[in-house]
Amino acid sequence: MFSGIKRTPPETGRIMKSEILVTGGAGYIGSHAVKRLLKENYKVRVLDNFTTGRRQALENLKKYGNLEVLEVDLRDGEKVKSTLNAVSKNNVSAVMHFAGVLSVGESMQDPHKYFLNNLMGSVNLLEAMRIAGIKNIIFSSTCATYGNSRYLPIDEKHPQNPTNPYGESKLMVEKAIRWYSELFGLRHVIFRYFNVFGSDPDCDVGYSSLPPVHLVQSAVRGALGLSPFSVTCADNFDTRDGTPVRDYVDVVDLVDAHFRAVKYLEGGGTSDVFNLGTGKGFTVYEIIDQVEKTVGNKFDRNPGEIRRGEYAEVYANYDKAKAVLGWNPSTSLEEGINNLTRWFKKYPEGLEN
């Protein structure tokens, strides 16, 4: 059990709220969520196996409040049960579940890794929550559960037909959560993310998974000369410039939705699922255009082949999150790329593990 991060007493006059457990809290999105929760005066306990998460991210955050870290692998069902049983005596309000693996391309090559980590790890967590009596979960799902779009923008009623094991593994977890809700009274918010980018404006936490597997992060690092990057993309999709269209949502906006979900569940909100996107799609070439404009370097562009499991166009209808949670993304593509550029300039090799 990792004990390098100790409890930090709250500042005088701050009223501590309940405790939130965050799986994968040392990772990219999870660490941003931890920061927001600490700044909102929640006690936070992170569960992470540190295969991709960064201990330094959590060290950078302990100044904000009451943070503890447990080194736990969700694939170890007995360890997860004993850990949650031990912490259930505290006032645990909810679990934010970010832990998992997330590359579409890798999932086509190694589906076993995706079903083991995403599905079995999540089922172990759900069973441990049941035994410990922890009733609320906020789950990090994906728009990849929808597969090819039948209509645009995609709302939460869109059919779910994944085209890759990554999306399938997340859909299976969604179904498991619904069964635990029906059978054992688990209350849940499921968020289906569209493409996440950006970074903490304060540069306390950011993107440290190298080499990067996401377009915006890869392009920014390439433009800064930090990592090899070439624009090789299929340009024969039925889109405005022939390249795939995706919806890019900033990570700070994303975690704002998670904070709102905590308040929603604490206030008695019913279990539900929400898209998190901006309602606007950008092509690959449009992303490259903005990175070139922000960073100042130019890329050659070469046509490539359509990857297995890849779809042409997807962007979100997020009206439901706006109506129910009061969530509205506000960070522009340009601002998010600027934050990411500042992050990589400060931490060119990412944070230490």
| Residues annotated catalytic, as ranges | 166
- Residue positions counted in the chain: 353
Q: Coil, strand, or helix at residue 261? A: helix
The Cβ of residue 120 has, within 10 Å, a number of other Cβ atoms equal to: 16
Q: Coil, strand, or helix at residue 97? A: strand
Q: How far apart are CA 40 and CA 23, in angstroms?
A: 18
Q: How far apart are CA 216 and CA 235, in angstroms?
A: 18
For residue 124, the one-letter residue type is N
- The H-assigned helical ranges of the chain are 28-39, 55-61, 77-87, 104-109, 111-114, 121-132, 165-184, 215-223, 251-266, 284-295, 319-325, 333-346
Which residues make beta-bridge pairs with 190?
139, 273
Q: How far apart are CA 278 and CA 257, in angstroms?
A: 12
Element (H, E) at 121: helix 121-132
Q: How far apart are CA 153 and CA 157, in angstroms?
A: 11
Tokens of 318: 């997020």
Query: Cα 345 to chain center, whole Å?
Result: 23
Element (H, E) at 245: strand 245-246
The Cβ of residue 214 has, within 10 Å, a number of other Cβ atoms equal to: 17
Q: How far does the chain reach from its first CA to its final CA, in angstroms?
A: 15
